[in-house]
Structure 1
Amino acid sequence: MLRVYHIFIAALLLLLMPLGAKFILPYFSGTKVEQKNQLAPTPKTSPQVPSGETTNSKAGNVWQKVLSKNIVVPNGWQVVPCAGTEPLLCVSAKSEVLGTLEMSVSQVSKNPNFQKHLADAGISFGTKLDYKNSSNQSKVLAALKAWSGDYYTALSKDRQKGNGNKIIFSTHPLENISVGKLPGIRYGFTGINAEGGLQEQYISYAAFDGNALYIISTAFDPNAVKGKFEKLENLVIFQPYLDAIAENLNL
């Protein structure tokens, strides 16, 4: 479900861009489309998952399995799994790929850090989780938030080391959100040039199904290689639709 405050945030970001209004006003009335078995060309850049998790793409592009058949997109836009085995979702308009969303699937059996967060929250890894139990939902959300806290800490140190005071680094507040049928979180960060202007913005989602940690990410970042939009205005237009895509995944 789209949230009004997400659209409000998007509008504020557009105020920073001289051409913002030109790009966003025609698009706020979305079009519901039925996904067919089609693939968009894979972007030529190489993969990057901002979360630092390992992506398993041996079985093919995971988006082909998890993307809902019915999604809402801006008028004239298409959202389909990218061609190939890399875990990318292509967002395009007029046959041009505007950006991609990247999905990482990490087996928690190989992630002792997240196992510790689960244990701290009161869940032993390997325990079958019944998400109809609100207590289990709360515990998993607590583990996800602790894990994202580690991510924020490491990321802040990395950005400070690389940029010093040239970039003002700000993390987004954590939000609870359903990722398919799984309890999940929405998180991210923004980097603003000290002299003015947006340098980077990342939007991510994380959920745990009892075995694997699912991480979805996209960004505006000239230094990123995948899971990104080339133009900030296109990410701003698409941002209000991201929650709906995450909430309707087949997970």
Structure 2
Amino acid sequence: MLRLYHLLLGSILLVSIPVAAKFVFPQFSPPKAVKPLAVVKLPNPNQGNIWQKILGNAAAPTNWQVAACEGNAPLLCVSSKGKRLGTVEINVYPLANNEDFQKKLVAAGIPTGSQVDYQSSKYQTQVLSALKAWVTDHYAAFAKDLQGKYGKEIVFSAYPPQPVPVGKLQGIRYGFAGLKQQGGVQEQHIGHVAFDGTKLYVITTAFDTNTQTGKFENLENLAIFQPYLYAIAADLHLPQ
């Protein structure tokens, strides 16, 4: 059933990007300047790839393998018959170095330094509000970036953000694509973002020739893997 499901989903994904969320670049106002996020640095080279610690059920299509990539880079490797098909990247941003998200939490009603109650529905609602604001800024930044690279040749199409579990954390699933005016997909990005009270987790993969890590070389393979990525994100060992 899952095989049939992911094939149907892949076909729908490639053909019908949400029209309601589609818009041409000039309609998108430039985002406010945001300070670059500081990524958590591993304290020593022996600590390893974070996926080794957080990966739960490594769901995958038949004859595909999913495992933490070798080395310390925060990459999850997706392969088949010994050939790497793509990678999924996770970046971890400490709240202490992230003024932008601190402001989003305050705006959502969570003062900086407040104690986190993961079981509180009020807290989860407030965190979701801050995460949705983060996704909105993220969309704006990428739309501006695509406009700078392609001008009016590419249309930015965003998927409506969806609240989803990321491990035991409340998170947001998001995604967007750069669509060619003449038809076809130039870029496609899929992401999850979650917050554990002290760190922001951002999980991403894409079909994008300009992306160095966290990407698939083939759009069809990304579409096939997409529902499995959703299952993997939901079963992560988070918070740590």
The residue type paired with residue 125 of structure 2 is S
Which residue matches 2:171?
Answer: 184
Cα deviations by residue, 1:163-206 (Å, 9 ceiling, x for unpaired): 11011111111000000000000011101111221101000000
Which residue matches 1:62?
Answer: 50
Q: Is the 8 A contact 2:216 2:222 kept in 1?
A: yes
Give the match's secondary structure for 1:141: helix
Which residue matches 1:12?
Answer: 12
Q: Is the 8 A contact 1:7 1:240 kept in 2?
A: no
User: 1:219 Cα shift?
Assistant: 0.4
The residue type paired with residue 239 of structure 1 is Q
Which residue matches 1:90?
Answer: 77
Which residue matches 2:233?
Answer: 246
Equivalence map 1:65-76=2 (5 Å): 65-68=53-56, 70-76=57-63
1:133 aligned onto 2:120: yes
Which residue matches 1:146?
Answer: 133
Percent identity of paired positions between Structure 1 and Structure 2: 51
Match of 1:105 among 62, 71, 92: 92
The residue type paired with residue 63 of structure 1 is W
The residue type paired with residue 188 of structure 1 is G
Distance 1:154 1:96 in 2: 33
Which residue matches 1:46?
Answer: none
Q: Is the 8 A contact 1:54 1:104 kept in 2?
A: no
Structure 2 unmatched runs, 5+: 17-35
Distance 2:235 2:160 in 1: 22
Q: Is the 8 A contact 1:55 1:87 kept in 2?
A: no
Distance 1:6 1:129 in 2: 36
Structure 1 unmatched runs, 5+: 17-51
Q: Is the 8 A contact 1:101 1:216 kept in 2?
A: yes
Match of 1:121 among 75, 87, 108: 108
Q: Cα distance 1:95–1:246, how it changes in 2: closer, same or farther (>3 A)?
A: same
Aligned CA-pair RMSD: 1.9
The residue type paired with residue 10 of structure 2 is A
Distance 2:116 2:64 in 1: 37
Q: Is the 8 A contact 2:172 2:194 kept in 1?
A: yes
Q: Structure 1-normalised TM-score?
A: 0.80
Distance 2:72 2:37 in 1: 17
Give the match's secondary structure for 1:163: helix
Which residue matches 1:41?
Answer: none
User: 1:142 Cα shift?
Assistant: 0.3
Which residue matches 1:208?
Answer: 195
User: 1:128 Cα shift?
Assistant: 1.6
Q: Is the 8 A contact 2:189 2:204 kept in 1?
A: yes
User: 1:125 Cα shift?
Assistant: 2.1
Distance 1:197 1:189 in 2: 14
Cα deviations by residue, 1:92-121 (Å, 9 ceiling, x for unpaired): 010111000000000011011100000000
Aligned residues: 213
The residue type paired with residue 231 of structure 1 is N
Q: Cα distance 1:6–1:208, how it changes in 2: closer, same or farther (>3 A)?
A: farther
The residue type paired with residue 66 of structure 1 is I
Query: Greater CA deviation, 75-84 or 150-159?
Result: 150-159
The residue type paired with residue 149 of structure 1 is T
Q: Structure 2-normalised TM-score?
A: 0.84
Give the match's secondary structure for 1:249: coil
The residue type paired with residue 93 of structure 1 is S
Cα deviations by residue, 1:117-136 (Å, 9 ceiling, x for unpaired): 00000001221211111000
1:77 aligned onto 2:61: no
